Structure 1
Amino acid sequence: MAGQWIDIAAKDGGTFKGYLALPASGSGPGILLLQEIFGVNKSMREVADHYAEEGYVVLAPDLFWRMEPGIELGYTEADFGKAMGYYQRFDANQSIKDAADALKVLRARPECKGKVGALGFCLGGKLAYLVAARTDVDCAVSYYGVGIEADLGEAGDVKCPVVFHFAELDRFAPPEARAQVEAAFKGRPEIEFYLYPGCDHAFAAPERASFNKPATLMAHTRSIAAFRKALGPHYDLSALWDRHTELEFATRSAEQTMTTMVAEPYVNHIPTMTGGVGYRDLLRFYKNHFIPKTPQDTKLVPISRTIGSDRIVDEMLFCFTHDIEIDWMLPGVPPTGKYVEIPLVAIVRFRGDKLYNEHIYWDQASVLVQIGLLDPKKLPVAGVETAKKLVDESLPSNTLMARWSESAGK
């Protein structure tokens, strides 16, 4: 998804550039993306493209333009030195005026429908806070903002929800600074604080050594939850997932199944590490190793469904007769003709109105017991009993635990 550079008129004269990224739908709520000290570089543009894929109209203004237009730095030691030089000359107060001009342009765009939020990283993390205090944005998200504690006199001017993401090991936002920020917003439930243990500054930047993927994923979900709640757009994730599974198990069309997913999705069946990463591999997997290699009598029995801001967790019974070699679940195992019932959990993540990835979990030992390849008398494993107990909690517990009887009466 490629964005474009547009011109932004400054209130005091002159123009500067901003990178505009649009969602596939062509319109949506707005996000004002506020840069790091490295300029609106490739990394920032990728963030803009990512949030456009989530359904937002994103504008990232060049806030260094008064010093030098079009600054784009990488993350080498030399680039970091240059970035710090720009940071030391940076006029934060003037930049908020420029950000307000960009915000006005964003709101006026025909593609921007409804409310607008602010999102910033590092320097931009502080600017997101100041934009929340000085403009009419409807929501703000700050990633490891530097120096926020110096401007907490404006905390009372913040009237919208704000999410602060901080890293435990961040020397640029140390514990005492974080404590001051939290204290300034005490008693305000619409202001959220999240600390990421073991993480350092810029943990959400894939190009940097401090990148931490688990923390980045968690922070993104929290950010999306805040934006969805304050701005929208709101998607029927349950219906989208139901349509996807219908195309897999009823229509049985690999090509149609792929239309429900983003351009480069992935699927991972955790117990067997089967699936695919990227459109071509996943289509190949669905077309040759999943859809035609799933038994015709396969039945999904829903048990529970939890719907979040950007994902669904589905708990179900997966039932089938092993009358075909199931490449994705039992690769290399000839059909046994055995009937199998197992609990299965699908964690499905979305970007906007498309599926982005699936993590599928089941108990492979239970499958192997039920088709006769694993002896439950020799190992602490169970067969169909795991499925039966999922729907009937009155069935006995601890049957695999020989010492259970020893604690009777204790």
Structure 2
Amino acid sequence: MRQDVEIQTADGIATAGLFAPAGPNATTAGVILYMDAFGPRPALYGMAERLSDAGYFVLVPDLFYRAAPYGPFDTNAFNNEATRTELRALLTATTQAMTASDSSAFIAALDKAGATGRIGAVGYCFGGGRALTAAGTYPEKIAAAASFHGGNLASDAPDSPHRLAGSIKGRVYVGMAGVDNSFPPAQSAKLAEALREAGVDHILENYVGMAHGWAVSDHSVHDEKGTERHWKRLLEFFAETLR
């Protein structure tokens, strides 16, 4: 069951959904679920519940809290001129540095809730890079970071996540959409090289036939078979690393 919480960050109050584990699978491990571009909503909360059912404390923070209120958006927002403009402005204004700073407060919120064990991070789309950045920014805290259809993970930007590979101490899993203009083959090769040179325990997996956004249930390109494959990989990854 979701508990709505407020988290004090350096820049204000971030709202978040918090899910606590119950039953025989419950652990003291925690997971930060970094949202995709469309913000916190039932589809992401459903994913958090599945992780919580697997035994983890899960936090789904609103990364756009500085601009609240905004939206709400559905996954067709980029097809409408007005919502496309608003959404792009939010994405541009919410920098990697901001989320990296916020993540310290997110980790503290999990600890306060009872997640005193290892911490994992998983992100989708826009959030995929945030998960990797968190692993590089808080290497003593983040034991596992996963990205699914994450974009611009190894771009030319100065804040590209691949530049933090040398700081990552945890494990990394990257699930790539088969064709994704936001993460083309040249970037995946650059990311793999950076992680390997840094000695990071990592896996990059290509989900052939899947489109950007396939793993989120309310996305127009959602693929059920691909989603279940993603869940199998993610749950095994966290079980091996966080328990």
TM-score, normalization by structure 1: 0.53
Is the CA contact (8 Å cut-off) linking 2:7 and 2:109 kept in structure 1? yes
Query: CA offset at residue 23 of structure 1?
Result: 1.9
Q: Please give the residue correspondences for 1:1-400 in structure 2 after superposition, counting only pairs within 5 Å.
A: 2-10=1-9, 12=10, 14-25=12-23, 28-69=28-69, 72-76=72-76, 77-78=79-80, 79-110=83-114, 112-135=115-138, 136-150=141-155, 151=160, 152-186=162-196, 188=199, 190-232=201-243
Larger Rg belongs to: 1
Q: How many residues align?
A: 229
Query: CA offset at residue 145 of structure 1?
Result: 1.3
Query: CA offset at residue 27 of structure 1?
Result: 5.3
SS in structure 1 of the partner of residue 29 of structure 2: strand
Query: CA offset at residue 198 of structure 1?
Result: 1.4
Query: CA offset at residue 67 of structure 1?
Result: 1.9
Q: Please give the alpha-carbon distance, in whole angstroms, between the structure 1 residues aligned to 2:150 and 2:38.
A: 14
Q: Please give the alpha-carbon distance, in whole angstroms, between the structure 2 residues aligned to 1:19 and 1:64.
A: 14
When residues 48 and 91 of structure 1 are mapped into structure 2, their CA distance, relative to the original with a 3 A threshold, is same
SS in structure 2 of the partner of residue 149 of structure 1: coil
Could you tell me which runs of 5 or more consecutive residues in structure 1 were left unpaired when the two chains were aligned. Answer: 233-410
Is the CA contact (8 Å cut-off) linking 1:40 and 1:71 kept in structure 2? no
Could you tell me which runs of 5 or more consecutive residues in structure 2 were left unpaired when the two chains were aligned. Answer: none
Is the CA contact (8 Å cut-off) linking 1:163 and 1:192 kept in structure 2? yes
When residues 70 and 96 of structure 1 are mapped into structure 2, their CA distance, relative to the original with a 3 A threshold, is farther
Task: Kindly indicate which of the two structures has a greater share of residues assigned to helix.
Answer: 2
Q: Please give the alpha-carbon distance, in whole angstroms, between the structure 2 residues aligned to 1:138 and 1:85.
A: 32
4+ residue segments displaced more than 6 Å: none
SS in structure 1 of the partner of residue 15 of structure 2: strand
> In percent, how many aligned pairs have the same letter?
23
Query: CA offset at residue 14 of structure 1?
Result: 2.8
Q: Please give the alpha-carbon distance, in whole angstroms, between the structure 1 residues aligned to 2:223 and 2:71.
A: 26
1:229-276 Cα distance to aligned partner (Å, 9 max, x none): 1112xxxxxxxxxxxxxxxxxxxxxxxxxxxxxxxxxxxxxxxxxxxx
User: Amino acid of the residue matched to residue 130 of structure 1?
Assistant: T
Query: CA offset at residue 72 of structure 1?
Result: 3.6
SS in structure 1 of the partner of residue 214 of structure 2: coil
Is the CA contact (8 Å cut-off) linking 1:31 and 1:57 kept in structure 2? yes
Is the CA contact (8 Å cut-off) linking 1:63 and 1:99 kept in structure 2? no
Q: Please give the alpha-carbon distance, in whole angstroms, between the structure 2 residues aligned to 1:219 and 1:65.
A: 28
SS in structure 2 of the partner of residue 9 of structure 1: strand
User: Amino acid of the residue matched to residue 32 of structure 1?
Assistant: I
Q: Please give the alpha-carbon distance, in whole angstroms, between the structure 1 residues aligned to 2:57 and 2:46.
A: 13
Q: Please give the alpha-carbon distance, in whole angstroms, between the structure 1 residues aligned to 2:205 and 2:70.
A: 33
Query: CA offset at residue 141 of structure 1?
Result: 0.8
Query: CA offset at residue 159 of structure 1?
Result: 0.8
Alignment RMSD, CA only? 1.8
Is the CA contact (8 Å cut-off) linking 2:173 and 2:204 kept in structure 1? yes
